A and B are shown apart, each in its own frame.
Chain A
């Protein structure tokens, strides 16, 4: 194993190296697209064929006339929908929402950053959520009591601030933990936005910070339609007491991972990966092994 550290240029040098058999990338959709383009260019064929058909092209690799075409897997951004039905166990669901969005300061590609609440329980959920975020402790990450640590970097903090501001400008209402933040370091209080519509930037773009966009729905069909109305498709969550509803909804959500009555649960045996602009290929489980093997 070798480790080369560096910024974007180092990554570009690695991707463009002619002697790689496999490239695996996890990161932003923007960079993922650039990598797919770089590899597609090497193959001398248009992007969709080159990226989707890599397994077959791998076989032609032995032909020395062809440059090496690495097998590619991408795990990119997400804008997960967390759907709460009226029959859901509410307190459990609130904890799930909290850990879904505020885990790791929201720096999680599968974070449940869009919350869809069925209209009948909207007031109750907002009240509970409002109370719950006030108890989150923001501060020194090394303190064992801390719930929310520091934002990873200054540019990321700026990005979060810009997007939240755009949400407020577009008419959403901002609710934040009213806590004192340390004067040094990069911090953002846990926040959620209500009155968000599907066209708002905060409902479409990945914020990658502790910011939740709350929306409502009336029927399960509407929930599915709104949850799928995103360029991403990495993960989703469904909260309901009714098992049949879970299975019905889960099969219609275009997301690689769907959690039911829980959120952000990971296990090496379960494959993880996305649909659409969240990438392709799976990590973990048998499917994850297939990404690193040529099966003959």
Chain B
């Protein structure tokens, strides 16, 4: 009797999810143990049905993205590209340039030139204007950036749209405000920029982490060489469109 009841339970569950494949790790112990009836539990699973409400894709993803050096998109000296994949579909989104040491050197040299000739000499109020402008453009383009971020990194659109992008813009706005008030941040002392900042960011929040690093660096008068994470790089490149 007991045996029969046990055999029945998983069958009933699989009937509701007839078309979909369950992914479970290959272990002897089942990941979803059969639960006795007396354990009261919610079993929404597949029954918790909503009509799908997918976000449209307002962006065009280029088949190939180059490096952003000296304000221009440049093909890598290494000549190498690597594919970037949408983790939700395993489909290839685009190809992204793989920068070699030579490319990095070019980028750092260009950042050094920009620092020596322009950015470090620019008054804070002017730097602030650029940062405010960047923040506003990010707000204007937030929908397409959010969709890109989701396609690239697999995070739900709800989060990229309501958390990531507003915070990205907020970081640029906040640091834009600091750009001409740095003396007040360090009362009685003189803050000076450091120079060229090399920044390496992770894949979990590609845009937000870029904003956390770029905004304060630029506000303080530094120039930046940014290395986005390997898996989701394309939003950072779209960010450089904005900088351009």
Contacts and interface: CB of A to CB of B under 8 A. Distances in A.
A180 B46 contact: yes
Contacts of A228: none
Interface in B30-68: 31-32, 41-46, 48, 50, 52-55, 57, 65, 67-68
A292 B32 contact: no
Interface in B181-233: 182, 185-186, 189-205, 209, 212-220, 222-233
Interface of A: 1-11, 13-15, 17, 19-28, 35, 58, 70-71, 103-105, 107-109, 130-131, 134-135, 137, 140-153, 161, 164-165, 168, 174, 176-187, 208, 266-269, 272, 283-284, 286, 288-296
Contacts of A19: 108-109, 112, 196
Given A5-B236, A58-B194, 13 more contacts: A3-B228, A14-B200, A17-B108, A141-B150, A144-B55, A150-B88, A152-B154, A152-B203, A174-B31, A180-B45, A186-B87, A289-B219, A289-B220
Contact of B45 (A35, A164, A178, A294): A178
A152 B153 contact: yes
Contact of A109 (B67, B157, B195, B204): B204
A203 to B, nearest CB: 20
B27 A168 contact: yes
A5 to B, nearest CB: 4
B192 A293 contact: yes
Contact of A1 (B31, B53, B224): B224
19 contacts: A1-B218, A4-B104, A5-B99, A5-B230, A5-B233, A5-B236, A11-B200, A13-B105, A21-B197, A131-B41, A134-B41, A152-B232, A153-B87, A186-B90, A268-B171, A284-B171, A289-B191, A292-B193, A292-B197
Contact of B98 (A10, A103, A183, A268): A10
Given A146-B158, A165-B25, A296 B20 contact: no
A109 B85 CA distance: 22
Nearest to B102: A13
Main secondary structure of the interface of B (DSSP, over half): mixed
Given A292-B220, A293-B220, A25 B243 contact: no
Contact of A134 (B42, B57, B196, B220): B42
Contacts of A286: 185-186
Contacts of A152: 87, 153-154, 203-204, 231-232
Contacts of A15: 198, 200
A2 to B, nearest CB: 4
Contacts of B87: 150-153, 185-186
A37 B218 CA distance: 27
A178 B43 contact: yes
B25 A164 contact: yes
B158 to A, nearest CB: 6
7 pairs of A and B residues whose beta carbons are closest in the complex:
A21-B195, A150-B154, A268-B174, A180-B20, A293-B191, A22-B197, A4-B99
B53 A145 contact: yes
Given A3-B240, A134-B45, A294-B193, A142 B150 contact: yes
Contacts of B48: 135, 137
Contacts of B213: 24, 26, 283
Given A180-B46, A185-B89, A14 B198 contact: yes
B232 A24 contact: no
A290 B197 CA distance: 14
Nearest to B160: A141
A247 B239 CA distance: 40
B151 interface: yes
A293 B186 contact: yes
B201 A266 contact: no
B92 interface: no
B46 to A, nearest CB: 5
Given A165-B25, A289-B182, A268 B170 contact: yes
A141 to B, nearest CB: 5
Contacts of B82: 6-7
